[in-house]
Amino acid sequence: MMSDNKTKSTKPADKTPPKSPADPTRERATKRLSYESNSSHEGAMAAELTALEEAFRKFAIHGDTRATGKEMHGKNWSKLCKDCHVIDGKNVTITDVDIVFSKIKGKSSRTITFDQFKEALQELSKKRFKDKSNEEAIQEIHKLIEGKAPIISGVTKTISSPTVSRLTDTSKFTGSHKERFDPSGKGRGKAGREDLVDASGYVPGYKHAGTYDHKVQGSK
């Protein structure tokens, strides 16, 4: 019988070097570099915000802790127009501001985006700066808003009136109230609130207390 001369095919050896165990330190460094790269990119994007958009965001989040700054409600839109003097009471009134807001926003929406905000300003610029070209009017109205922030109102101011002055003038106090302050108007503290026993030996109210020794020595 003829011997089987068929050669058996041999599987080629895998020359790919075995993977080395992952280095935790190297992986952490790679992740850190990736995070820093993303952070720097986000920082660059934030730096690209225009002064107008920055003002828009400040007014958009005013009084609303849940606001993202990407959309603005009608109330904050009106405040922006007041605080930045877009409303001048002549060419632009609060009614004009409300009408433009209703015109620009969507029918079912209660807010406007930054792009819609710019459209609204363009509408108002035609009324606010009638003597300028469209481009110049837009630039002027942007200047009124750029770099601005909401004005905080409601701060209590000191009221000056004769009545208040009379009530706070300690030199005009009488009775027990007068005893609570010295001649300069400074409070006496506990001594002005409680009756302290006078152990000096003089009658209360005696004006020459403490002058006896001085008089005796002066006569010798």
Exposure string for 32-52, b = 16+ CB within 10 A, e = fewer: eeeeeeeeeeeeeeeeeeeeb
Angle of helix 134-145 versus helix 51-60 axis, rounded to 10: 50
Query: Which helix (H) or strand (E) element contains residue 111?
Result: strand 111-113
* pLDDT at res. 23: 57
Helix residue ranges, H only, the chain: 24-47, 51-60, 74-83, 94-104, 114-128, 134-145, 162-168, 175-178, 212-219
How confident is the prediction along the chain (220 residues), in pLDDT tens digits per residue? 444 544 445 555 555 555 555 555 666 656 555 555 554 444 444 445 799 999 999 999 999 989 999 999 999 999 999 999 999 999 999 999 999 999 999 889 999 999 999 999 999 999 999 999 999 999 999 999 999 999 987 655 555 666 666 666 666 666 666 666 677 667 666 665 566 666 666 676 666 776 766 666 666 5
The first and second tokens of residue 131, run together, are 């003597």
Is the pTM for the entire model greater than 0.75?
Answer: no
* pLDDT at res. 42: 46
